[in-house]
Each structure stands twice: as C-alpha cells, then as structure tokens.
Amino acid sequence: MRIRLIAVGTKMPAWVEQGWQEYVKRLPREISLELVEIPLGTRTKSSSTAAAIAKESDAILQAIGANDKVIALEVKGKDWSTEQLSGQLAQWQMDGDNVSLLVGGPDGLSDACRARAQVHWSLSRLTLPHPLVRVLLAEQVYRAWTILANHPYHK
C-alpha cells in the first residue's frame, strides 16, 4: 500500500527531511510512505488569499491518486489515538487502499479539498507548525505499523 502525504510548503529545514527519512526507511516494503510537496500560493498585498488557496487546491487535487482514500488533516477533524490509527492502517491494508493525507497551507484546505476527503482527521487541537506535522505523521504511521507487527517500539 502507498500512503502519500500531500503537503503545501517546500524548502523545509534539514531536520524535517532527516526526521521524515528516518521513519520512511523503518517502514516495511509493503507500506510506502511518500511526500508530495505543493508550492505555497503567492500571498501579497495585491493578491487575494482565496486565489492562493485555489492554486494550492488545484495542485493538491491533481496529486491525489484516482482511487485513493483521502484524509484531510484539519483542526476540526476527528481525533484518533495511535491505536485507532493502527486500526485504520490495518483496514486500509485489508481493503487494498492507497491513502492520500492532505495538509493545507497557512490558510488551510479549500472547500474542494475538504469535499474530496472521505475522512477529516485532527492530529491535535493545537496549531502545529507544518514542518513538525510531517515528522509527526511519519512517526505515527511507523508507530501504527509497529503495533500491527507486535514490534516493541510502541511500548
């Protein structure tokens, strides 16, 4: 199965890439964790925020696989424990689903992206910086897999 994190923003600090790669390399071959970076829409005094969100949205929607299960990460989404994420991972594997996780830019996801998502998930009620979200997601996918594999990492 493939899990694709489609995230707005590029040019992350080196520690983000290192953290992301650390957890990607730990996952087994049957779980591919990929990152698709979407350029941030231009936000200036003369351009509208709506135009920037629309540009980001178009790129996000194009990056989603045709048959992917789509999960929008949003503050108002449903909270999952690590154990619940592990259960979701098991279900996705059983169903043969590929998954696209959507992370919007500084102004969030567009209505079109929200509508495309079958699930709305919240990592936290806290506002998290985008670089940290990438590493946190990679670690949690790895941790969810360790639960399924009875690996001692989760303990």
41 known member of a binding site? no
122 known member of a binding site? no
104 known member of a binding site? yes
125 known member of a binding site? yes
4 known member of a binding site? no
44 known member of a binding site? no
127 known member of a binding site? yes
Sheet containing 69-79: order of strands: 32-38, 2-8, 99-103, 69-79, 119-122
CB-based contacts of 85: which residues, under 8 Å, 6+ apart? 140, 141, 143, 144
Q: Using CA atoms of 114, 94, 144, 1 in order, give the dihedral in degrees to the nearest 10.
A: -70
Q: Which residues are annotated as a binding site for S-adenosyl-L-methionine?
A: 73, 104, 123-128
Q: Which residues are annotated as a binding site?
A: 73, 104, 123-128
